[in-house]
Structure 1
Protein backbone atom coordinates (compact mmCIF):
# COMPACT_ATOMS: atom_id res chain seq x y z
CA UNK A 1 0.00 0.00 0.00
CA UNK A 2 1.13 3.53 -0.76
CA UNK A 3 0.32 5.69 2.26
CA UNK A 4 0.46 9.49 2.33
CA UNK A 5 0.80 10.96 5.83
CA UNK A 6 0.12 14.68 6.23
CA UNK A 7 1.44 16.53 9.27
CA UNK A 8 4.37 14.11 9.25
CA UNK A 9 6.51 16.28 11.56
CA UNK A 10 4.03 16.05 14.43
CA UNK A 11 4.02 13.63 17.37
CA UNK A 12 1.74 11.08 15.72
CA UNK A 13 2.96 11.75 12.18
CA UNK A 14 6.58 10.91 13.01
CA UNK A 15 5.68 7.64 14.75
CA UNK A 16 3.16 6.69 12.07
CA UNK A 17 5.65 7.17 9.23
CA UNK A 18 8.27 5.15 11.14
CA UNK A 19 5.77 2.36 11.88
CA UNK A 20 4.65 2.17 8.25
CA UNK A 21 8.25 2.07 7.04
CA UNK A 22 9.02 -0.70 9.53
CA UNK A 23 6.24 -2.78 8.00
CA UNK A 24 7.40 -2.24 4.44
CA UNK A 25 4.75 0.21 3.29
CA UNK A 26 5.44 2.69 0.51
CA UNK A 27 4.94 5.65 2.84
CA UNK A 28 5.27 9.33 1.97
CA UNK A 29 5.41 11.69 4.93
CA UNK A 30 4.81 15.37 4.24
CA UNK A 31 5.19 18.06 6.89
CA UNK A 32 3.65 21.52 6.58
CA UNK A 33 6.52 22.74 4.39
CA UNK A 34 5.94 19.76 2.10
CA UNK A 35 2.16 20.14 2.01
CA UNK A 36 0.05 22.88 3.56
CA UNK A 37 -3.33 21.15 3.82
CA UNK A 38 -5.11 24.52 3.85
CA UNK A 39 -3.88 25.17 0.29
CA UNK A 40 -6.39 23.50 -2.05
CA UNK A 41 -4.20 23.67 -5.13
CA UNK A 42 -1.25 22.16 -3.28
CA UNK A 43 -3.40 19.35 -1.87
CA UNK A 44 -4.95 18.45 -5.22
CA UNK A 45 -1.58 18.65 -6.96
CA UNK A 46 0.25 16.47 -4.43
CA UNK A 47 -2.43 13.80 -4.10
CA UNK A 48 -3.13 13.43 -7.81
CA UNK A 49 0.62 13.24 -8.50
CA UNK A 50 1.49 10.79 -5.73
CA UNK A 51 -1.66 8.65 -6.19
CA UNK A 52 -1.67 7.11 -2.71
CA UNK A 53 -3.96 4.22 -1.78
CA UNK A 54 -4.52 5.75 1.65
CA UNK A 55 -4.23 9.29 3.03
CA UNK A 56 -3.83 9.69 6.78
CA UNK A 57 -4.40 13.29 7.85
CA UNK A 58 -2.56 14.01 11.08
CA UNK A 59 -2.13 17.69 10.15
CA UNK A 60 -3.94 20.11 12.46
CA UNK A 61 -3.53 23.38 14.31
CA UNK A 62 -3.68 22.07 17.88
CA UNK A 63 -2.78 25.23 19.81
CA UNK A 64 -6.09 25.18 21.67
CA UNK A 65 -5.82 28.59 23.32
CA UNK A 66 -4.34 30.31 20.26
CA UNK A 67 -7.28 29.07 18.18
CA UNK A 68 -9.58 31.27 20.29
CA UNK A 69 -7.82 34.35 18.93
CA UNK A 70 -7.53 33.27 15.29
CA UNK A 71 -10.72 31.56 14.19
CA UNK A 72 -9.91 31.88 10.50
CA UNK A 73 -6.63 30.01 10.80
CA UNK A 74 -8.26 27.27 12.87
CA UNK A 75 -10.97 26.81 10.26
CA UNK A 76 -8.54 26.91 7.32
CA UNK A 77 -6.36 24.14 8.74
CA UNK A 78 -8.78 22.04 10.77
CA UNK A 79 -11.91 22.27 8.59
CA UNK A 80 -11.00 23.34 5.06
CA UNK A 81 -7.86 21.20 5.04
CA UNK A 82 -9.96 18.03 5.47
CA UNK A 83 -12.34 19.27 2.76
CA UNK A 84 -9.51 19.58 0.25
CA UNK A 85 -8.13 16.18 1.27
CA UNK A 86 -11.54 14.55 0.77
CA UNK A 87 -11.82 16.16 -2.64
CA UNK A 88 -8.32 15.02 -3.59
CA UNK A 89 -8.86 11.52 -2.20
CA UNK A 90 -11.97 11.18 -4.34
CA UNK A 91 -10.04 12.19 -7.47
CA UNK A 92 -7.21 9.74 -6.70
CA UNK A 93 -9.38 6.88 -5.48
CA UNK A 94 -7.68 6.97 -2.08
CA UNK A 95 -9.16 6.06 1.29
CA UNK A 96 -9.05 8.95 3.77
CA UNK A 97 -8.27 8.58 7.48
CA UNK A 98 -8.68 11.71 9.59
CA UNK A 99 -7.42 12.25 13.15
CA UNK A 100 -9.81 14.13 15.45
CA UNK A 101 -10.15 14.92 19.13
CA UNK A 102 -12.08 14.62 22.39
CA UNK A 103 -12.60 18.41 22.23
CA UNK A 104 -15.62 17.86 19.95
CA UNK A 105 -17.56 17.08 23.17
CA UNK A 106 -18.65 19.50 25.90
CA UNK A 107 -17.44 17.21 28.71
CA UNK A 108 -20.71 17.32 30.65
CA UNK A 109 -21.63 13.62 30.54
CA UNK A 110 -21.20 11.51 33.67
CA UNK A 111 -19.89 8.55 31.64
CA UNK A 112 -17.34 8.02 28.86
CA UNK A 113 -18.33 9.33 25.43
CA UNK A 114 -19.01 6.73 22.75
CA UNK A 115 -18.96 7.29 19.01
CA UNK A 116 -22.72 7.94 18.73
CA UNK A 117 -22.88 10.67 21.37
CA UNK A 118 -23.79 14.08 20.01
CA UNK A 119 -20.79 16.43 19.77
CA UNK A 120 -21.08 19.87 21.33
CA UNK A 121 -17.69 21.62 21.22
CA UNK A 122 -17.12 24.54 23.59
CA UNK A 123 -13.94 25.95 22.03
CA UNK A 124 -12.89 27.25 18.62
CA UNK A 125 -10.44 24.36 18.35
CA UNK A 126 -13.15 21.80 19.10
CA UNK A 127 -15.60 23.43 16.70
CA UNK A 128 -13.03 23.54 13.90
CA UNK A 129 -12.13 19.87 14.43
CA UNK A 130 -15.82 18.87 14.38
CA UNK A 131 -16.21 20.81 11.14
CA UNK A 132 -13.27 18.83 9.77
CA UNK A 133 -14.99 15.56 10.71
CA UNK A 134 -18.08 16.63 8.79
CA UNK A 135 -16.02 17.69 5.78
CA UNK A 136 -14.35 14.28 5.31
CA UNK A 137 -17.73 12.54 5.11
CA UNK A 138 -19.10 9.17 6.17
CA UNK A 139 -16.86 7.07 3.91
CA UNK A 140 -13.71 8.30 5.63
CA UNK A 141 -12.35 6.81 8.83
CA UNK A 142 -12.41 9.37 11.65
CA UNK A 143 -10.21 8.53 14.63
CA UNK A 144 -10.87 10.55 17.78
CA UNK A 145 -8.14 10.41 20.39
CA UNK A 146 -7.10 12.36 23.49
CA UNK A 147 -4.21 13.62 25.61
CA UNK A 148 -1.60 12.52 23.05
CA UNK A 149 2.00 11.96 24.18
CA UNK A 150 5.05 10.62 22.38
CA UNK A 151 8.80 10.74 22.07
CA UNK A 152 8.64 13.61 19.58
CA UNK A 153 7.22 17.11 19.81
CA UNK A 154 5.78 18.82 22.88
CA UNK A 155 3.50 17.04 25.33
CA UNK A 156 2.68 16.73 29.02
CA UNK A 157 5.23 14.01 29.74
CA UNK A 158 8.12 16.09 28.39
CA UNK A 159 6.84 19.19 30.19
CA UNK A 160 6.69 17.43 33.55
CA UNK A 161 10.13 15.86 33.17
CA UNK A 162 11.48 19.37 32.68
CA UNK A 163 9.46 20.95 35.52
CA UNK A 164 10.51 18.40 38.17
CA UNK A 165 14.10 19.57 37.65
CA UNK A 166 13.17 23.23 37.96
CA UNK A 167 10.45 23.52 40.62
CA UNK A 168 9.99 22.10 44.13
CA UNK A 169 6.23 21.63 43.72
CA UNK A 170 3.64 21.43 40.95
CA UNK A 171 -0.10 22.13 40.83
CA UNK A 172 -2.45 20.56 38.30
CA UNK A 173 -6.22 20.40 37.92
CA UNK A 174 -8.08 17.45 39.38
CA UNK A 175 -11.47 18.20 37.78
CA UNK A 176 -10.58 17.39 34.15
CA UNK A 177 -10.46 13.68 33.30
CA UNK A 178 -9.33 11.85 30.20
CA UNK A 179 -7.32 8.96 28.79
CA UNK A 180 -3.65 9.63 28.05
CA UNK A 181 -2.81 8.16 24.65
CA UNK A 182 0.68 7.29 23.46
CA UNK A 183 1.73 7.50 19.84
CA UNK A 184 3.74 4.29 20.16
CA UNK A 185 0.40 2.49 20.57
CA UNK A 186 -1.82 4.83 18.56
CA UNK A 187 0.26 4.70 15.35
CA UNK A 188 -0.12 0.92 14.85
CA UNK A 189 -3.89 1.15 15.33
CA UNK A 190 -4.12 4.05 12.87
CA UNK A 191 -2.24 1.99 10.30
CA UNK A 192 -4.44 -1.04 10.92
CA UNK A 193 -7.67 0.93 10.46
CA UNK A 194 -6.21 2.63 7.38
CA UNK A 195 -5.21 -0.61 5.69
CA UNK A 196 -8.58 -2.16 6.54
CA UNK A 197 -10.21 0.87 4.87
CA UNK A 198 -12.51 1.35 7.82
CA UNK A 199 -15.19 4.02 7.68
CA UNK A 200 -17.02 6.05 10.28
CA UNK A 201 -15.97 7.30 13.70
CA UNK A 202 -13.61 5.32 15.94
CA UNK A 203 -12.50 6.32 19.42
CA UNK A 204 -8.91 5.18 19.98
CA UNK A 205 -7.21 5.85 23.32
CA UNK A 206 -5.05 3.99 25.78
CA UNK A 207 -6.90 2.58 28.78
CA UNK A 208 -7.17 4.07 32.25
CA UNK A 209 -8.99 7.36 32.86
CA UNK A 210 -7.25 9.85 35.14
CA UNK A 211 -7.33 13.53 36.03
CA UNK A 212 -4.44 15.73 34.96
CA UNK A 213 -3.39 15.80 38.62
CA UNK A 214 -3.30 11.99 38.77
CA UNK A 215 -1.49 11.70 35.44
CA UNK A 216 1.19 14.18 36.50
CA UNK A 217 1.73 12.24 39.73
CA UNK A 218 2.27 9.10 37.64
CA UNK A 219 4.82 10.88 35.44
CA UNK A 220 6.65 12.25 38.47
CA UNK A 221 6.74 8.82 40.11
CA UNK A 222 8.05 7.16 36.93
CA UNK A 223 10.82 9.77 36.78
CA UNK A 224 12.01 8.76 40.25
CA UNK A 225 10.68 11.80 42.10
CA UNK A 226 8.20 12.03 44.96
CA UNK A 227 4.61 12.32 43.60
CA UNK A 228 3.69 14.18 46.79
CA UNK A 229 5.26 17.24 45.16
CA UNK A 230 2.15 17.46 42.92
CA UNK A 231 -0.88 19.27 44.38
CA UNK A 232 -4.48 19.38 43.11
CA UNK A 233 -6.24 22.57 42.11
CA UNK A 234 -9.59 23.32 40.47
CA UNK A 235 -9.87 24.58 36.91
CA UNK A 236 -11.63 27.67 38.28
CA UNK A 237 -8.53 28.47 40.33
CA UNK A 238 -6.09 28.55 37.40
CA UNK A 239 -4.24 31.87 37.32
CA UNK A 240 -4.34 33.13 34.67
CA UNK A 241 -7.40 31.28 33.38
CA UNK A 242 -7.04 29.53 30.03
CA UNK A 243 -8.68 31.30 27.05
CA UNK A 244 -10.26 28.10 25.72
CA UNK A 245 -12.60 26.03 27.89
CA UNK A 246 -11.54 22.42 28.44
CA UNK A 247 -14.05 19.56 28.64
CA UNK A 248 -14.25 18.32 32.23
CA UNK A 249 -14.89 14.79 30.98
CA UNK A 250 -12.68 13.82 28.04
CA UNK A 251 -12.91 10.08 28.58
CA UNK A 252 -13.64 8.30 25.30
CA UNK A 253 -15.25 4.86 25.25
CA UNK A 254 -13.58 2.88 22.45
CA UNK A 255 -16.97 1.34 21.77
CA UNK A 256 -16.60 0.56 18.07
CA UNK A 257 -13.37 -1.37 18.60
CA UNK A 258 -14.72 -3.05 21.73
CA UNK A 259 -18.06 -4.11 20.23
CA UNK A 260 -16.32 -5.35 17.07
CA UNK A 261 -14.07 -7.52 19.28
CA UNK A 262 -10.97 -5.68 18.08
CA UNK A 263 -7.91 -5.46 20.34
CA UNK A 264 -7.85 -2.32 22.47
CA UNK A 265 -4.77 -0.28 23.31
CA UNK A 266 -2.92 -1.03 26.53
CA UNK A 267 -3.46 0.69 29.87
CA UNK A 268 -1.63 4.00 29.64
CA UNK A 269 0.76 3.21 32.50
CA UNK A 270 2.68 0.71 30.35
CA UNK A 271 3.55 3.05 27.46
CA UNK A 272 4.09 5.86 30.00
CA UNK A 273 6.75 3.77 31.74
CA UNK A 274 8.39 3.02 28.39
CA UNK A 275 8.33 6.65 27.25
CA UNK A 276 9.78 8.04 30.49
CA UNK A 277 12.57 5.45 30.40
CA UNK A 278 13.31 6.39 26.79
CA UNK A 279 13.33 10.14 27.48
CA UNK A 280 15.56 9.77 30.54
CA UNK A 281 18.01 7.37 28.91
Structure 2
Protein backbone atom coordinates (compact mmCIF):
# COMPACT_ATOMS: atom_id res chain seq x y z
CA UNK A 1 0.00 0.00 0.00
CA UNK A 2 1.33 3.42 -0.95
CA UNK A 3 0.79 6.08 1.72
CA UNK A 4 1.26 9.81 1.28
CA UNK A 5 2.25 11.49 4.57
CA UNK A 6 2.02 15.27 4.85
CA UNK A 7 3.88 17.09 7.61
CA UNK A 8 6.60 14.46 7.33
CA UNK A 9 9.27 16.57 9.06
CA UNK A 10 7.12 17.17 12.13
CA UNK A 11 7.02 15.14 15.31
CA UNK A 12 4.21 12.83 14.22
CA UNK A 13 5.35 12.69 10.61
CA UNK A 14 8.77 11.40 11.63
CA UNK A 15 7.21 8.88 13.99
CA UNK A 16 4.86 7.62 11.27
CA UNK A 17 7.82 6.97 8.99
CA UNK A 18 9.78 5.22 11.74
CA UNK A 19 6.90 2.94 12.79
CA UNK A 20 5.43 2.11 9.37
CA UNK A 21 4.45 -1.57 9.12
CA UNK A 22 5.90 -3.95 6.55
CA UNK A 23 4.31 -3.65 3.14
CA UNK A 24 3.85 0.14 3.35
CA UNK A 25 5.52 2.34 0.75
CA UNK A 26 5.77 5.91 2.05
CA UNK A 27 5.75 9.09 0.00
CA UNK A 28 6.64 11.72 2.59
CA UNK A 29 6.32 15.47 2.01
CA UNK A 30 6.69 18.62 4.07
CA UNK A 31 6.44 22.35 3.46
CA UNK A 32 9.51 22.37 1.21
CA UNK A 33 7.82 19.82 -1.06
CA UNK A 34 4.28 21.23 -1.17
CA UNK A 35 2.74 24.53 -0.06
CA UNK A 36 -0.38 23.45 1.81
CA UNK A 37 -1.85 26.94 1.48
CA UNK A 38 -2.04 26.32 -2.29
CA UNK A 39 -4.94 24.11 -3.37
CA UNK A 40 -3.52 23.70 -6.87
CA UNK A 41 -0.22 22.46 -5.46
CA UNK A 42 -2.07 19.98 -3.25
CA UNK A 43 -4.04 18.64 -6.21
CA UNK A 44 -0.82 18.20 -8.19
CA UNK A 45 0.87 16.46 -5.26
CA UNK A 46 -1.93 13.92 -4.90
CA UNK A 47 -2.14 13.34 -8.64
CA UNK A 48 1.61 12.75 -8.96
CA UNK A 49 1.92 10.58 -5.84
CA UNK A 50 -1.22 8.54 -6.62
CA UNK A 51 -1.44 7.15 -3.07
CA UNK A 52 -3.80 4.49 -1.80
CA UNK A 53 -4.06 6.35 1.52
CA UNK A 54 -3.20 9.83 2.78
CA UNK A 55 -2.22 10.57 6.38
CA UNK A 56 -2.46 14.31 6.99
CA UNK A 57 -0.05 14.98 9.85
CA UNK A 58 0.53 18.58 8.76
CA UNK A 59 -0.93 21.40 10.81
CA UNK A 60 -0.47 25.01 11.84
CA UNK A 61 0.20 24.34 15.53
CA UNK A 62 1.48 27.73 16.77
CA UNK A 63 -1.53 28.17 19.04
CA UNK A 64 -0.84 31.74 20.17
CA UNK A 65 0.50 32.97 16.83
CA UNK A 66 -2.68 31.74 15.14
CA UNK A 67 -4.66 34.43 16.99
CA UNK A 68 -2.98 37.06 14.80
CA UNK A 69 -2.43 34.86 11.74
CA UNK A 70 -5.86 33.34 11.26
CA UNK A 71 -5.64 33.35 7.46
CA UNK A 72 -2.61 31.05 7.36
CA UNK A 73 -3.94 28.85 10.15
CA UNK A 74 -7.24 28.43 8.30
CA UNK A 75 -5.48 27.70 5.02
CA UNK A 76 -3.39 24.88 6.51
CA UNK A 77 -5.77 23.48 9.13
CA UNK A 78 -9.02 23.70 7.15
CA UNK A 79 -8.66 24.57 3.47
CA UNK A 80 -5.85 22.07 2.91
CA UNK A 81 -8.05 19.28 4.30
CA UNK A 82 -10.78 20.21 1.84
CA UNK A 83 -8.24 20.17 -0.99
CA UNK A 84 -6.93 16.74 0.02
CA UNK A 85 -10.46 15.33 0.17
CA UNK A 86 -11.28 16.78 -3.25
CA UNK A 87 -8.09 15.46 -4.84
CA UNK A 88 -8.13 11.96 -3.31
CA UNK A 89 -10.89 9.42 -3.79
CA UNK A 90 -9.47 7.02 -1.24
CA UNK A 91 -9.35 7.29 2.54
CA UNK A 92 -7.86 10.31 4.28
CA UNK A 93 -6.52 9.94 7.82
CA UNK A 94 -6.65 13.36 9.45
CA UNK A 95 -5.04 14.20 12.80
CA UNK A 96 -6.77 16.77 14.99
CA UNK A 97 -6.63 18.08 18.53
CA UNK A 98 -8.21 18.23 21.97
CA UNK A 99 -8.41 22.00 21.44
CA UNK A 100 -11.63 21.57 19.46
CA UNK A 101 -13.32 21.20 22.88
CA UNK A 102 -13.98 24.00 25.38
CA UNK A 103 -12.89 22.24 28.56
CA UNK A 104 -16.26 22.56 30.30
CA UNK A 105 -16.90 18.80 30.50
CA UNK A 106 -16.91 16.89 33.78
CA UNK A 107 -15.74 13.69 32.06
CA UNK A 108 -13.25 12.80 29.29
CA UNK A 109 -14.38 13.94 25.86
CA UNK A 110 -15.80 11.23 23.62
CA UNK A 111 -15.23 11.36 19.85
CA UNK A 112 -18.88 12.25 19.23
CA UNK A 113 -19.08 15.05 21.80
CA UNK A 114 -20.02 18.58 20.76
CA UNK A 115 -17.06 20.76 19.84
CA UNK A 116 -16.74 24.34 21.00
CA UNK A 117 -13.19 25.60 20.41
CA UNK A 118 -11.90 28.59 22.37
CA UNK A 119 -9.07 29.64 20.03
CA UNK A 120 -8.35 30.28 16.37
CA UNK A 121 -6.19 27.16 16.34
CA UNK A 122 -9.01 25.03 17.75
CA UNK A 123 -11.57 26.61 15.47
CA UNK A 124 -9.54 26.05 12.31
CA UNK A 125 -8.84 22.45 13.30
CA UNK A 126 -12.58 21.90 13.85
CA UNK A 127 -13.31 23.35 10.41
CA UNK A 128 -10.78 20.95 8.93
CA UNK A 129 -12.63 18.05 10.55
CA UNK A 130 -15.86 19.23 8.91
CA UNK A 131 -14.46 18.48 5.45
CA UNK A 132 -13.99 14.77 6.17
CA UNK A 133 -16.25 12.13 4.65
CA UNK A 134 -17.83 9.23 6.50
CA UNK A 135 -15.25 6.86 5.03
CA UNK A 136 -12.32 8.94 6.29
CA UNK A 137 -10.57 8.51 9.63
CA UNK A 138 -10.28 11.32 12.18
CA UNK A 139 -7.81 10.87 15.05
CA UNK A 140 -7.77 13.48 17.81
CA UNK A 141 -4.86 13.64 20.20
CA UNK A 142 -3.31 15.92 22.84
CA UNK A 143 -0.03 17.38 24.10
CA UNK A 144 2.21 15.61 21.55
CA UNK A 145 5.96 15.38 22.10
CA UNK A 146 8.94 13.30 20.98
CA UNK A 147 12.72 13.30 21.19
CA UNK A 148 14.34 15.92 18.99
CA UNK A 149 11.08 17.83 18.43
CA UNK A 150 9.87 21.29 19.35
CA UNK A 151 7.70 20.57 22.37
CA UNK A 152 6.97 21.18 26.05
CA UNK A 153 9.39 18.53 27.29
CA UNK A 154 12.39 19.96 25.49
CA UNK A 155 11.42 23.51 26.47
CA UNK A 156 11.26 22.44 30.12
CA UNK A 157 14.65 20.72 29.90
CA UNK A 158 16.21 23.90 28.54
CA UNK A 159 14.57 26.14 31.13
CA UNK A 160 15.45 23.78 33.99
CA UNK A 161 19.09 24.05 32.95
CA UNK A 162 18.94 27.85 32.65
CA UNK A 163 16.58 29.08 35.37
CA UNK A 164 16.67 28.93 39.16
CA UNK A 165 12.90 28.57 39.40
CA UNK A 166 9.99 27.72 37.09
CA UNK A 167 6.32 28.63 37.29
CA UNK A 168 4.01 26.25 35.43
CA UNK A 169 0.24 26.28 34.93
CA UNK A 170 -1.55 23.75 37.13
CA UNK A 171 -5.21 24.30 36.20
CA UNK A 172 -5.15 22.95 32.63
CA UNK A 173 -5.76 19.20 32.68
CA UNK A 174 -5.15 16.69 29.91
CA UNK A 175 -2.75 13.92 28.91
CA UNK A 176 0.69 14.02 27.28
CA UNK A 177 1.07 11.86 24.17
CA UNK A 178 4.32 10.35 22.90
CA UNK A 179 4.40 10.69 19.11
CA UNK A 180 5.69 7.15 18.37
CA UNK A 181 2.80 5.71 20.40
CA UNK A 182 0.35 7.90 18.50
CA UNK A 183 1.88 6.80 15.19
CA UNK A 184 1.52 3.13 16.11
CA UNK A 185 -2.12 3.72 17.06
CA UNK A 186 -2.75 5.39 13.70
CA UNK A 187 -1.18 2.49 11.82
CA UNK A 188 -3.27 0.12 13.93
CA UNK A 189 -6.47 1.96 13.07
CA UNK A 190 -5.51 1.91 9.39
CA UNK A 191 -4.91 -1.86 9.55
CA UNK A 192 -8.32 -2.27 11.20
CA UNK A 193 -9.90 -0.24 8.36
CA UNK A 194 -11.37 2.11 10.96
CA UNK A 195 -13.45 5.08 9.85
CA UNK A 196 -15.07 7.95 11.70
CA UNK A 197 -13.69 9.69 14.79
CA UNK A 198 -11.30 8.13 17.30
CA UNK A 199 -9.22 9.52 20.16
CA UNK A 200 -5.70 8.57 21.21
CA UNK A 201 -3.51 9.82 24.02
CA UNK A 202 -1.34 8.06 26.54
CA UNK A 203 -3.12 6.72 29.62
CA UNK A 204 -3.38 8.80 32.77
CA UNK A 205 -4.11 12.41 33.66
CA UNK A 206 -1.84 15.42 34.23
CA UNK A 207 -1.68 19.16 34.49
CA UNK A 208 1.16 21.00 32.80
CA UNK A 209 2.61 21.40 36.30
CA UNK A 210 2.42 17.63 36.90
CA UNK A 211 4.08 17.06 33.55
CA UNK A 212 6.89 19.51 34.35
CA UNK A 213 7.55 17.91 37.75
CA UNK A 214 7.74 14.46 36.12
CA UNK A 215 10.07 15.75 33.39
CA UNK A 216 12.50 17.08 35.98
CA UNK A 217 12.40 13.93 38.11
CA UNK A 218 12.86 11.54 35.19
CA UNK A 219 15.49 13.69 33.44
CA UNK A 220 17.50 14.05 36.64
CA UNK A 221 17.42 10.28 37.16
CA UNK A 222 18.73 9.74 33.63
CA UNK A 223 21.49 12.34 33.98
CA UNK A 224 19.97 14.80 31.52
CA UNK A 225 19.87 17.40 34.30
CA UNK A 226 22.56 17.86 36.93
CA UNK A 227 20.35 19.76 39.38
CA UNK A 228 16.74 20.27 40.37
CA UNK A 229 14.99 23.62 40.58
CA UNK A 230 11.77 24.62 42.37
CA UNK A 231 8.67 24.28 40.18
CA UNK A 232 5.81 26.45 41.38
CA UNK A 233 2.21 25.77 40.33
CA UNK A 234 0.33 28.81 39.05
CA UNK A 235 -3.12 29.48 37.58
CA UNK A 236 -3.77 30.20 33.92
CA UNK A 237 -4.54 33.76 34.97
CA UNK A 238 -0.97 34.02 36.21
CA UNK A 239 0.36 33.14 32.76
CA UNK A 240 -1.85 34.97 30.24
CA UNK A 241 -1.55 33.96 26.59
CA UNK A 242 -3.14 35.31 23.38
CA UNK A 243 -5.10 32.07 22.87
CA UNK A 244 -7.46 30.57 25.43
CA UNK A 245 -6.80 26.94 26.33
CA UNK A 246 -9.40 24.43 27.53
CA UNK A 247 -9.10 23.92 31.29
CA UNK A 248 -9.99 20.24 30.90
CA UNK A 249 -9.26 18.40 27.65
CA UNK A 250 -8.96 14.78 28.69
CA UNK A 251 -9.87 12.50 25.77
CA UNK A 252 -11.91 9.32 26.11
CA UNK A 253 -9.77 6.81 24.20
CA UNK A 254 -11.70 3.69 25.19
CA UNK A 255 -12.94 2.89 21.68
CA UNK A 256 -9.41 3.08 20.26
CA UNK A 257 -7.95 0.97 23.05
CA UNK A 258 -10.65 -1.67 22.75
CA UNK A 259 -10.18 -1.91 18.99
CA UNK A 260 -6.38 -2.08 19.13
CA UNK A 261 -5.90 -3.72 22.55
CA UNK A 262 -2.93 -1.37 22.88
CA UNK A 263 -2.01 -1.94 26.52
CA UNK A 264 -3.02 1.45 27.99
CA UNK A 265 0.56 2.72 28.36
CA UNK A 266 0.79 5.46 31.00
CA UNK A 267 2.19 8.83 29.94
CA UNK A 268 5.01 8.70 32.47
CA UNK A 269 6.27 5.41 31.03
CA UNK A 270 6.40 6.96 27.56
CA UNK A 271 8.08 10.06 28.98
CA UNK A 272 10.93 7.81 30.12
CA UNK A 273 11.18 6.33 26.61
CA UNK A 274 11.37 9.82 25.14
CA UNK A 275 13.99 11.05 27.59
CA UNK A 276 16.21 8.04 26.95
CA UNK A 277 16.04 8.83 23.23
CA UNK A 278 16.63 12.52 23.99
CA UNK A 279 20.09 11.71 25.36
CA UNK A 280 21.17 11.06 21.75
CA UNK A 281 20.24 14.65 20.82
CA UNK A 282 22.07 16.22 23.74
Please say whether Structure 1 and Structure 2 have the same fold, judged by a TM-score greater than 0.5.
yes
Distance 2:85 2:118 in 1: 26
Structure 1 residue ranges, 4+ long, deviating more than 3 angstroms after superposition:
225-228, 258-262
Q: In the superposition, relative to structure 1, how do residues 64 and 264 fare at CA in structure 2: closer, same or farther (>3 Å)?
A: farther
Select between 244-253 and 45-54 the one with higher mean Cα deviation.
Answer: 45-54
Q: Give 1:31's aligned residue.
A: 30
Query: What is the distance in 2 between the residues matched to 1:265 and 1:258?
Result: 7
Q: How big is each residue's C-alpha offset from its partner over 1:104-137, in whole Å with a ceiling of 9 and x where there is no partner?
A: 0000111111112100001000000000000122
Report deviation, 1:23: 3.0
C-alpha separation in 1, matches of 2:275 and 2:132: 35
TM superposition shift of 1:265: 4.4
Shift of 1:24: 4.3
Contact persistence 2:257–2:264 (CA under 8 A):
no
Tell me the number of residue pairs that the alignment of Structure 1 and Structure 2 aligns.
Answer: 275
1:177 paired with 2:176, answer no
How far did residue 74 of structure 1 move? 1.1
- Aligned-partner SS, 1:162: helix
How far apart are the structure 1 equivalents of 2:264 and 2:78?
28
The answer to whether structure 1 residue 221 and structure 2 residue 225 are counterparts is no
Q: Which residue of 1 aligns with 2:94?
A: 98
Deviations 1:31-68 (A, max 9, x none): 11112222111111111221111100011100000111
1:254 aligned residue: 253
Counterparts of 1:27 and 1:172, CA distance in 2: 39
What is the CA-CA distance between 1:152 and the residue it aligns to?
3.2
Alpha-carbon distance between aligned partners in 1 of 2:176 and 2:129, rounded to the nearest angstrom: 22
Contact 2:189 2:260 in 1 (8 A): no
TM (normalized to structure 2)? 0.93
Q: Within 2, Cα distance between the matches of 1:103 and 1:227?
A: 32
Structure 2, unmatched stretches of 5+, are none
Q: Partners in 1 of 2:173 and 2:88 — Cα distance?
A: 36
